[in-house]
Structure 1
């Protein structure tokens, strides 16, 4: 057994923040993938993520650095670096140039999230994240920010753990208090993309719950994963949808920063940006439920060859094989 399935961080897109929380001119020191970085938004509104240390004398740009137009200014000697990491100006030596630069990390803003690309070989992105359809649907669903933007913080969790819930149909009974396990209905892989559908009886074994006041209702949980950094669970119950994105971004070899982003179908006739009724209750309920998972993952050890039971091995093995593509040094011959 070991705490990480392979020796490097998995390739993919990872959330590093929310768009609404990074204003033009704002600078933040951040650490991801065991590297010190600086995140900032230019005065023109572009998000940039660069290696943190100035190539001149090594000052950390995240501590005292300032945005000047489309550049970040070093707090030590004022050298200006563009959002692409190029040297723009040496203020006390006008016209002089140096063949130096800062590594730039690919970033995107999608559906109110700021995401960054990681690849152990330094390759350019080989897919784009399409976002979540409910996050885009301002008319039919509540906005994700601020009520649906849940900052979990840094936890001792690896990115694979949240996504590995995908083939785990039995944990619902013990972790989430359901009356029965989920029933696999669909398993669909397309390269970096994994989609499943799970049959689920909400309120099973109970005459009435706040979510199912008239008794148990058959529904589904649809999951989608784009690599191991971004995974979404869509709970579908009688036309009411809750969409919950879990994002785990490595900070170092043992810890990840966790984001949990949720939206629900609007209450009939509501145009209020703040969730109410069933939607508001579901939002808070799911925030609590995901924390039950986090408590497991944070204290879990990765078991490379589990002694599966009850048919678990079919989809767990498929998931483990699918996940290997994101680790640049995954052994080709490994068997799950």
Structure 2
């Protein structure tokens, strides 16, 4: 463990800013229609729940009446209505408007409303739209076509809290030199193509079977803006799919969560044979990265050389999400 401590982010990044985009705030199997899940991300207190129709929804956690946290004490959701623990005002979970003030005897009011956030449930995650100026979503998150086909098993998931500058996390994947110098790979990865798509960035990697631990046929990556990543590895008779989300907690820290799906090979033993070495390798390399990234500074004008990889190409892509 390093004895140094990361200095505050205001000294390590050009500005404190969360990029616009879709952020994971819960796992889909963690929420229900009869429970308010309190979470804290992006310097905000939020609640996550399901509406009566079964749709996932994210809302601000504080009651617009007098500021009670809606998931505190006996705050709850009943028959699709969120009940404040303080004065028992009720709010429609689907539309947000006030449906009852028990001691005032007034009808429903659409002028009084909770702040609801655009929400999507995708690939086992609940994603919330964030924009620093509260603008509406201008793109949709990536949905894994691979996970919609065949049968997949969620083999394992791991999460880390990181103090890496947020801009530098996914940029690290385009720093091809560190794959050899830090991780000890025999060759630098080669990006066959980088292509802007509606959801973000598509990357296709050139595969050199002799340089890989596993015999691979293809590796492709889909970025949802700069807030989530789907990596699909395919080989002869097997496939793994990493679903990765990165969500800031506050100005200093974010959570990275990795979910490993294995294409079902028909038995627990066979799935273990594929899944175990993949998750162990991924965990080892991520933790190697964070030993450096957690303390680094984002340099707006780094002194790059020819072998560093397409870092500036990635930055050009990423800049569109910083408003």
Shorter-chain TM band: 0.7 to 0.9
Distance in structure 2 (CA, Å) of the matches to 1:42 and 1:79: 17
- Partner SS for 1:48: strand
Note the residue ranges of structure 2 that are not aligned, 5 or more in a row.
1-9
Which of 184, 194, 200 aligns to 1:193? It is 200
Equivalent residue number for residue 251 of structure 2: 253
Unaligned runs of 5+ in 1: 329-336
Among 37, 41, 45, the alignment partner of 1:28 is 37
Give the Cα–Cα distance (whole angstroms) in 2 for the partners of residues 54 and 317 of structure 1: 44
Q: Is the alpha carbon distance of 1:138 and 1:184 closer, same or farther for their aligned partners in structure 2, counting shifts above 3 Å?
A: closer
Q: Give the paired residue count.
A: 311
Matched, 1:319 2:317: no
| Cα RMSD (Å) | 2.6
Q: Is the 8 A contact 1:178 1:203 kept in 2?
A: no
Partner of 2:72: 63
CA distance 1:295–1:72, shift in 2 (3 Å): farther
Give the 3-state SS of the residue equivalent to 1:72 in structure 2.
strand
When residues 116 and 274 of structure 1 are mapped into structure 2, their CA distance, relative to the original with a 3 A threshold, is farther
- In the TM superposition, what are the counterparts of 1:147-166 in structure 2 within 5 Å? 147-150=155-158, 152-166=159-173
Q: Secondary structure at the match of 1:77?
A: coil
- TM-score scaled by length of structure 1: 0.83
Q: Which moved more, 1:56-65 or 1:93-102?
A: 93-102
Contact 1:155 1:256 in 2 (8 A): yes
Helix, strand or coil at the partner of 1:114? strand
| Distance verdict in 2 for CA 1:106–1:155, change over 3 Å | same
Contact 2:142 2:224 in 1 (8 A): no
Q: CA deviation at 1:244?
A: 1.3
Question: Which residue in 2 is equivalent to 1:46?
Answer: 55
Partners of 1:233 and 1:97 in 2: CA distance: 47
The answer to whether the Cα contact below 8 Å between 2:99 and 2:107 also exists between their aligned partners in 1 is no
2 CA distance for matches of 1:73 and 1:186? 51
- The offset of 1:225, in angstroms, is 0.9
Q: Map of 1:1-336 to 2, 5 A cutoff?
A: 2-42=11-51, 44-64=53-73, 65-83=75-93, 84-96=95-107, 99-139=111-151, 141-142=152-153, 144=154, 147-150=155-158, 152-190=159-197, 193-201=200-208, 204=211, 211-212=213-214, 217=215, 219-238=217-236, 240-267=238-265, 270=266, 275-312=271-308, 315-328=310-323
**Residues 82, 97 of structure 1: alpha-carbon distance in 2 compared, 3 angstrom cutoff:** closer
TM-aligned CA distance change 1:284 to 1:248, over 3 Å? same
Aligned-partner Cα distance in 2 for 1:160–1:67: 37
Tell me if structure 2 keeps the 8 A contact 1:53–1:61.
yes
Structure 1's 271 and 149: CA in aligned 2 closer, same or farther, altered over 3 A?
Answer: same
How much has 1:19 moved relative to structure 2? Answer: 0.8
Contact 2:20 2:321 in 1 (8 A): yes
- How far did residue 114 of structure 1 move? 0.7
Q: Is the Cα–Cα contact under 8 Å of residues 233 and 239 in structure 2 kept in the other structure?
A: yes
Instruction: Answer yes or no: is the 8 Å Cα contact 1:6–1:327 preserved in 2.
Output: no
Matches of 1:32 and 1:168 in 2, distance apart?
A: 28
Indicate the residue corresponding to 1:334 in structure 2: none
Partners of 1:243 and 1:160 lie apart in 2 by 24
Check conservation: 2:216, 2:234, Cα contact below 8 A.
Answer: no
Q: 1:4 to 1:247 in 2, by over 3 A?
A: farther
Q: Distance in 1 between matches of 2:318 and 2:114?
A: 31
From the superposition, tell whether residues 294 and 233 of structure 1 become closer, same or farther in structure 2 (CA, over 3 Å). farther
